Structure 1
Amino acid sequence: MAQRYEPKTALARFVHEFEETVIALLLGAMTIITFANVVLRYGFGTGLIWGLEMVTFLFAWLVLFGVSYAVKVTAHLGVDAVINLFSPPTRKLLALIAAAVCLVYASLVLKGAWDYWANFANLPQTTGRWFPTGFEEMKRSSYRGWYEVIDIPLPEWLRWIEPIMNEGEEYEKIPRFIPYAILPIGIGLLLFRFIQATVRLVKDEATSLIVSHEAEDDVEAVKHMNQGS
């Protein structure tokens, strides 16, 4: 079963509530936009041209927020049948090895996520093949902040970014660096949660990295229900 996460500091409580609020808002926005599009299409023969693209971006944000959140509350499913055959010290060692692999993986993906997003955000990409060793030198010709999405129009309250990111030129659609920002944000959160999980393992506050026994718990619940009836 997924553990109930109990933040211990004011900052941890703020981040925890912020994550849950953002996830709820993303789900709500996806539902509202999809419902509105269905009503407009079948009721009035029209629709939100930007609706599908917006829902796609919102879903991507939801997935990447959800991945790190599930690590925090140990909601990811895993198989530990073989691991449980070993003694507790060996299980802890294997868990620490798995944590190290996860940390390396998240670090590699974070580098790739930053480099991909930086290409659209007028920011330098990192040097180094596997891990960042510095930042590349930026040239005016390498700026890509003018790249736009396909359908989503730029709201008027975001016009202030035009002189900063597009040399004063008007955007017709929202620039890609805005929806793509979830890549370094989401993977950065994932790396942070893996670090937290590793610390819990070292302090013996947890026995596994992210394994949840939700499926087994559901089977047991159904079994007890059947026995009761």
Structure 2
Amino acid sequence: MSTGGYRRGFEETVIAIILGLMTMVTFVNVILRYVFNESLIWGLEVTLILFAWLVVFGISYGVRMTMHLGVDAITGMLKPGSRRVLALIALTVCLAYALLMMKGAWDYWAPYPGLWQTEGRWFPLGFDTGTRDRAFYVTDQVPMPGFLRFLEDWINMGEEYDKLPRVIPYVIMPIGIGLFLFRYIQVAIHIIRGQSDSLIVSHEMEEEVDAARIKD
């Protein structure tokens, strides 16, 4: 899981786009408000939606780049083989957590496109055919883009949306958590192949301190 010479990943690209869009919407809103005494009434809601997307994408990006913090005071004293065993145990817990998150993300999002939630408290045991359809739920202020009108026939029984349906902003839940799970599967493959023996951030700060000490 070394970060040296890595190629730009999907999360990094999307995060850059989201940051750009947030900046653009906020900047335009400020100009409209203080120069033209107008505002984008939907600007704040769009920024909040984009920020939520940023956070969820950041979770999987942190796993990919081994940026999540951890304590290795004990594992650092062990031999590589023992560290690898402990890493696999920790990884099993992380994968179980990611799977639970994936179930929760699907169950939260599924009613909005008119799909079924899963049955079972902890693990999917089938689909709940009695799931209440929430496809008619819309955002508070965000207007409905014309290119998304096909959703009216697909999930809302032909009824027109006067605002953006919540299925769009909430789709980040299964996508983002799915990426989170996928990145942990990648970590598992790396550890099993012996390419890594840790799930946490490398000792970059220690290297920075050592480099600063040498300069002094």
Q: After TM superposition, is the score higher than 0.5?
A: yes
User: Given the alignment of the two structures, is residue 199 of structure 1 paired with residue 200 of structure 2, yes or no?
Assistant: no
**CA–CA distance in structure 1, aligned partners of residues 210 and 116 of structure 2:** 53
Structure 1 gaps of 5+ residues are: 8-15
Query: Which SS does the other structure have where 1:129 is aligned?
Result: coil
User: Given the alignment of the two structures, is residue 182 of structure 1 paired with residue 168 of structure 2, yes or no?
Assistant: no
1:48 to 1:218, Cα distance in 2 relative to 1, 3 A? farther
1:78 to 1:221, Cα distance in 2 relative to 1, 3 A? farther
Match of 1:47 in 2: 39
Query: Which SS does the other structure have where 2:25 is aligned?
Result: helix
Deviations 1:92-114 (A, max 9, x none): 11111110110000000110010
Deviation at 1:52, TM superposition (A): 0.9
**CA–CA distance in structure 1, aligned partners of residues 90 and 31 of structure 2:** 48
Q: Of residues 211, 215, 226 in structure 1, which corresponds to 2:205?
A: 215
Deviation at 1:75, TM superposition (A): 2.4
Deviation at 1:76, TM superposition (A): 2.3
Structure 2 gaps of 5+ residues are: none
User: Given the alignment of the two structures, is residue 148 of structure 1 paired with residue 138 of structure 2, yes or no?
Assistant: yes
Query: Which SS does the other structure have where 1:38 is aligned?
Result: helix
Name the amino acid aligned to 1:44: F
**CA–CA distance in structure 1, aligned partners of residues 16 and 76 of structure 2:** 36
Name the amino acid aligned to 1:189: L
Name the amino acid aligned to 1:123: L
Query: Which SS does the other structure have where 1:209 is aligned?
Result: coil
Q: Of residues 9, 17, 21 in structure 2, which corresponds to 1:25?
A: 17
Deviation at 1:138, TM superposition (A): 4.3
Name the amino acid aligned to 1:163: D
Is the Cα–Cα contact under 8 Å of residues 2 and 214 in structure 1 kept in the other structure?
Answer: no
Is the Cα–Cα contact under 8 Å of residues 112 and 167 in structure 2 kept in the other structure?
Answer: yes
1:102 to 1:46, Cα distance in 2 relative to 1, 3 A? same
Is the Cα–Cα contact under 8 Å of residues 78 and 212 in structure 1 kept in the other structure?
Answer: no
Is the Cα–Cα contact under 8 Å of residues 37 and 48 in structure 1 kept in the other structure?
Answer: yes
Match of 2:4 in 1: 4
Alignment: residue pair count: 216
TM-score by length of 1: 0.87
Is the Cα–Cα contact under 8 Å of residues 116 and 129 in structure 2 kept in the other structure?
Answer: yes
Query: Which SS does the other structure have where 1:173 is aligned?
Result: coil
Deviation at 1:43, TM superposition (A): 2.0
Cα RMSD, aligned residues only: 2.0
Match of 1:13 in 2: none
TM-score by length of 2: 0.92
Query: Which SS does the other structure have where 1:76 is aligned?
Result: coil
1:224 to 1:36, Cα distance in 2 relative to 1, 3 A? farther
